[in-house]
Amino acid sequence: MNEGKSESDEQGADRSSGRPTRQVKLPRFIVSEPVGLGDAVKRITRVVGVKPCVPCEQRADRLNRWVRLEPRR
């Protein structure tokens, strides 16, 4: 899912700090395709009924740049 991904996510580094994005490998039954941590949190909060707002989007962008969840091969 490419929802909310920036160009820095595609390159694997945070443009503002130049640091690489951390990649966390999880079993395929937990995550089937790469997703940013912010997008994962956004999905969970929607399921429980929290409506997204501007600060939520900003938080999701920061978390996506910080950690990327990927399936193990």
- The answer to pTM > 0.85 is no
Handedness of CA 10, 26, 60, 40 (dihedral sign): positive
Query: For 34-71, how does the pLDDT look when each residue is reduced to its tens digit (9 = 90+)?
Result: 999 999 999 999 999 998 899 999 999 999 999 999 99
Handedness of CA 60, 2, 12, 71 (dihedral sign): positive
